[in-house]
Structure 1
Amino acid sequence: MIFLIFSFGVTLIFGLANIYIYKRLVLKFITLKYLRRLFALILFTLFLAQAFFMVFRSSEYLNDTWYSFFASLYAPTYCFFFVTLLLDFLRLVLTLLGKSFMKIASFLKVSFEIFVLLFGAFITYFSIYSAIKVPEFNEVDIEISHLTKELKVAMLTDIHLGKNLHEKFLSEIIEKVNSKNVDMIVIVGDLVDAKPETLKPYISKLNDLKSTYGTFYALGNHEYYHGINEVLELLKGQTNMRILVNEGVDLGFINIAGVGDLVGLRKGILAPDLARAKVDLNLSKPSILLAHQPKTTQLYDVSDFDLILSGHTHGGQIFPFALLVKLQQGFVSGLYPLSEKTQLFVSRGAGFWGPSLRTFSQSELVILNLRGDK
């Protein structure tokens, strides 16, 4: 039922956005005067494609190529909606100033309209490209009290391997991470976003990741959506990652622990258990906690840890959803002090969820340069 309500809501919003674009942009532009029927057909076809994707995105009817194609068709509506909204705001300003856009010379008006259409096309392309590209590195320096040696950590979150992002995307991430010669790699949830059997042909590529102390992995919410037991069976059988589900590891000079995702509370399986994760740790040493949702830090006492690493938010992914993320999670992206001892770092993530669309929130691979305080 929730799936149907969500699908209907999104489809309705994009349908209304397409109507708005037609009425307030297509019908207003003199350059499109003889192309109105064509654009009406294009916008209606877009709406049908968007509705089709919402209904069948979780089915087996869409192979990877078609899934990626339909997922990218939200970008034109989204981008041209905000372009049209900006134009209406400009018209309002001109009206308040006692001027009229209609009185501008025809040549200038046509030139302006062509610029607007090209700009809309460019940001549509850029928003899709920003979602599907292999991210660049974001390097962050963090001081941790009593850390006796510097530690270079590659942090990966929200890769969302599935129908949109798969083997090639993962291989390129691995190649980039290996070029950094890191001491440790952490994958903080939402690695898997498809039925586990579809990842079997290439998930073992994670074994190609190279670091001094190995790769540590904690669950995200999307792993639960595709059968948490099957996901764990796949990862344990095909990879050499150290999977931390309410478990900690003492590496001698530092501890690292991971907890189950908050969605486990609702599903009644592998919910966060911080007490259990701390059992094998010497908490007099610096400690890192992998917790996919940053909201975990508001629901549990994380004061024994020096650094919590989270993802989940995608940095908002699509404007203006960062505002909703802030309300729901309490954090969006970046480094946050939680107390004099404890810090939280939230990554924008390497991949994306849903439409192939990122605006005002670029994906990232993170290098954390951890140093002892001076």
Structure 2
Amino acid sequence: MTDSGTIEPEQATERAAEAPARGRRRGPVLRRVAVLVLVLVLLCLPPWWTLFGPAAGWPGPVTAAGTAVLVAWMVSFPFLMIAGHGRRRSDRAARFADTSLGVVWVLFTWSVLGGLAGLALTALDLGGADRGRIVAVAVAAVAAGLLGWGHHEAMRVPRVKRVDVHLPRLGAGLDGTKVVVLADTHYGPIDRAAWSARVTEAVNALDPDVVVHAGDIADGTPTQRRAQSAPLGAVRARLARVYVTGNHEYGSEAQGWLDRMAELGWEPLHNRHLVVERGGAALVLAGVDDVTAEHSGLAGHRTDLTAALAGADPAHPVLLVAHQPKYVPHAAAAGIDLQISGHTHGGQIWPFNFLVRIDQPVVHGLSRHGERTQLYTSRGAGFWGPPFRVFAPSEITLLTLRSGLSAPE
């Protein structure tokens, strides 16, 4: 631009070239916003229709208040999520966003089921003029009960699940080896330092030989979650305590979590292995980074089973820790004896277990893959996001390794 305020030809050309680029950048953003708005509307429409719609027949002020609450949530939720899980990492905002999302999801699920029940009542000509209100009250009561129970299930110390795993190549000296599995502790916006200490006590009470943390240790950095992770330093195991990264570490300083676990006395299996021995028998404990590691941008972080097994005696059985069950085809191809995973939470809030099954080969439990490889998928000890577990109980798993054949269900 000259002193007179006119635009030079070169500047006009540059601005003309920049305009399409700005348009291309705005396009994906607007599409993401449109998708978000659509998802929020779809989540809120069934609860509104079932609880406050014309069929319920509530007085005007009740309908207006219910509508206002749902609209206020739709408007505020994206901002709370950004404040809670973005760069600011406000735990207060995250707590509200996560909890409210869980409430809306449960209301959505049971409103859809309530709507189907209403259609059935209509077809059977039951309920009369109060049919809609009966359905609304029933849906609200069921949702409230499930949310109260689900919150209790999420916040309690997990129950112990005991499973025998038969490994044909396991030597007699290691028969009866007790492997305790923790996964998906997800230390996060709700301070669960006391819960973490009680989990440690429960693990130690099992008198384990090996303790495995299968990843997703926290939502937040090691500094943010230092107090919650501290009790892991008191976990006891006769042979080894091992840890691998999960996908959530790659949003919150994965290398820092590897360092933090080493500081607490654990062995981070960052694409490496160690060997435990007893009674003349040996077992290779190997671990790989999560499958999302390669796209994290962190140097040296990727899923590398070849590196994890480098130098291991092929005659020894291998227990591989990989956060996501869907890594099991690679484990089976490599002849791994047992893979231990987490990640799925068992679905956490029904009916998410059906959605998890689309992405993962197994939602929970012991399964066989190929001739040699078995997979144990833990439901996890904690929860992610909404502090609820509905029909997907948390667990601390005690795997007892046995020599011999097995036929997992």
Q: Indicate the TM-score class for this superposition, using the shorter chain for normalisation.
A: 0.7 to 0.9
- Aligned pairs (5 A) from 1:275-354: 275-299=306-330, 301-354=332-385
**Residue 151 of structure 2 aligns to which amino acid in structure 1?**
I
TM-score w.r.t. length of structure 1: 0.88
- Residues 316-360 of structure 1: per-residue CA shift (max 9 Å, x gap): 223333233222222211111112321011111112222323333
- Residues 52-77 of structure 1: per-residue CA shift (max 9 Å, x gap): 32222224656435532332112332
**CA distance in structure 1 between the partners assigned to 2:314 and 2:325 by the alignment:** 21
SS of 1:131's equivalent in the other structure is: helix
Is 1:164–2:190 an aligned residue pair?
yes
**Residue 150 of structure 1 aligns to which amino acid in structure 2?**
G
Change (3 A) 1:370 1:6: farther
SS of 2:115's equivalent in the other structure is: helix
Contact 1:246 1:258 in 2 (8 A): yes
SS of 2:39's equivalent in the other structure is: helix
**CA distance in structure 1 between the partners assigned to 2:351 and 2:245 by the alignment:** 27
> What is the aligned partner in structure 1 of residue 290 from structure 2?
261
Report the structure number with the largest CA radius of gyration. Answer: 2
Contact 2:191 2:228 in 1 (8 A): no
Is 1:210–2:233 an aligned residue pair?
no
**CA distance in structure 1 between the partners assigned to 2:208 and 2:224 by the alignment:** 29
- Residues 24-77 of structure 1: per-residue CA shift (max 9 Å, x gap): 322333466652222223323333443332222224656435532332112332
Structure 2, gaps ≥5 residues long: 1-24
Aligned residue among 262, 265, 268 for 1:243: 268
Aligned residue among 218, 223, 239 for 1:192: 218
- Residues 84-138 of structure 1: per-residue CA shift (max 9 Å, x gap): 22222122223434x25435xx6x9877754443222111222333333332111
Is 1:178–2:204 an aligned residue pair?
yes
Aligned residue among 68, 78, 81 for 1:54: 81
Identity fraction in percent: 28
**Residue 84 of structure 1 aligns to which amino acid in structure 2?**
S
**CA distance in structure 2 between the partners assigned to 1:132 and 1:6 by the alignment:** 33
> What is the aligned partner in structure 1 of residue 115 from structure 2?
88
SS of 1:366's equivalent in the other structure is: strand
**CA distance in structure 2 between the partners assigned to 1:11 and 1:197 by the alignment:** 34
Contact 1:156 1:349 in 2 (8 A): yes
> What is the aligned partner in structure 2 of residue 121 from structure 1?
144
Contact 1:316 1:332 in 2 (8 A): yes
**Residue 362 of structure 2 aligns to which amino acid in structure 1?**
F
Is 1:134–2:157 an aligned residue pair?
yes
SS of 1:305's equivalent in the other structure is: coil
**Residue 284 of structure 2 aligns to which amino acid in structure 1?**
N
CA-atom RMSD, angstroms?
2.8
Change (3 A) 1:170 1:90: same
- Aligned pairs (5 A) from 1:54-73: 54-59=81-86, 63-73=90-100
Change (3 A) 1:95 1:30: closer
Aligned residue among 392, 395, 398 for 1:361: 392
Contact 2:269 2:286 in 1 (8 A): yes
SS of 2:249's equivalent in the other structure is: helix
TM-score w.r.t. length of structure 2: 0.81
Change (3 A) 1:222 1:327: same
Change (3 A) 1:187 1:165: farther
**CA distance in structure 2 between the partners assigned to 1:316 and 1:7 by the alignment:** 27
